[in-house]
Amino acid sequence: MKIISSIHEMQVEAEHIRLSGKRIGVVPTMGYLHRGHTSLIEMARKQSDVVVTTIFVNPTQFGPGEDFDRYPRDLDRDRVLAEDAGTDYLFTPSTAEMYPAGFATFVTVEGVSEILEGKFRPTHFRGVTTVVMKLLLITKPHIAVFGQKDAQQAFILRKMVRELNVDTEIIVAPIVREHDGLALSSRNVYLSQDERRRATSLYQSLQLASARIQSGDRSVDSLRKEIMNLLKAAQPLQVDYVAFVDPTSFREVDLVAPPQVLALLAVRFGATRLIDNMLISVP
Ligand code: PAF
């Protein structure tokens, strides 16, 4: 595995790979890799000839007072995990090179960036779309792999790539969960033992929603009430949202309808904000 931190060097290398006729797959990450990330790298490995994993804790997607400074970082461990999962190039740019003084160009997907996560983190998606567009232009991939755990992010990135005619296919890989259902996230390390135990209520809520929908409940009001009861029993600091959207438009619905609905949650336990989601078939 080759490690590159210069943007120019990565662009030259990517151009050579493209000219040799090989398919490039990129996996953008913020590091502190876990099995969720390595599953994305493995998926890129299967669908491309050369895998580029990027590690960059992107300051523009963190709002004031969020966890940018304390976001977990461990490049030595990441190097081993990335290589073992099948990475050929590890791209680790510096903040100074990604965002030189005076940087003022941003990519925004309007509308869908302002709801749900965007309501609680107003500048978050603008930071994500800007950095991902930069990473796509630097690594020139045929495919880019992201996780379903960040469902709204994946929807927004697909929309961005389609609307700006970027020649990269966005692939979305399934959520990887712990044995008790907690979705893997780099932020899980912030949870105390007690919060970690109570955090299983997110997956239990999604399972409850799925079971109720299978038995005929169609009303989002009634589904939300049941979920709120389950979540409140786990004593979260705050439930930011419990939402049901049409997965093709990301519009919130009042009644769930076939063929599918996407249930999404954001819940705070202490200082840690967790998100999760489930794509539910509607009979
Ligand atoms: O999903 C993430 O880890 C980040 O939002 C991403 C896509 C790497 C952009 O910084």
| Ligand 1 proximity of 210 Cβ (cutoff 6 Å) | no
Edge-to-edge strands of the sheet including 89-91?
2-4, 89-91, 50-55, 24-29, 143-147, 169-173
Q: Report strand pairing: 2-4 vs 89-91.
A: parallel
Ligand 1 centroid to 58 CA: how many Å? 8
DSSP one-letter string for 119-180: HHSTTHHHHHHHHHHHHHHHH--SEEEEEGGGHHHHHHHHHHHHHTT-S-EEEEEPPPB-TT
Band of residue 66 on the pLDDT scale cut at 50, 70, 90: very high
Ligand 1 centroid to 147 CA: how many Å? 9
Ligand 1 centroid to 239 CA: how many Å? 23
Three-state DSSP state, 88: coil
> What share of the chain in percent tops pLDDT 90?
100
Band of residue 254 on the pLDDT scale cut at 50, 70, 90: very high
pLDDT at 203: 98
- Mean pLDDT to the nearest integer, 120-144: 98
- Mean pLDDT to the nearest integer, 14-42: 98
> What share of the chain in percent tops pLDDT 70?
100
97: number of Cβ within 10 Å: 11
- Mean pLDDT to the nearest integer, 183-196: 96
pLDDT at 139: 99
What are 145-179's pLDDT values in tens digits? 999 999 999 999 999 999 999 999 999 999 999 99
Nearest CA-CA partner of 246 in 228, 234, 258: 258
Atom 8, ligand 1: residue with shortest CA distance: 29
Rg of the chain over all Cα atoms, to the nearest angstrom: 19
Band of residue 201 on the pLDDT scale cut at 50, 70, 90: very high
pLDDT at 161: 98
What are 67-119's pLDDT values in tens digits? 999 999 999 999 999 999 999 999 999 999 999 999 999 999 999 999 999 99
For residue 66, the Cα-to-chain-centroid distance in whole angstroms is 17
Mean pLDDT of the chain: 98
| Ligand 1 proximity of 61 Cβ (cutoff 6 Å) | yes
Domains contained in the chain, CATH given: 2-173 (3.40.50.620), 186-281 (3.30.1300.10)
Q: Which atom of ligand 1 is nearest to the CA of 56?
A: 10
Residue 8 among the catalytic residues: no
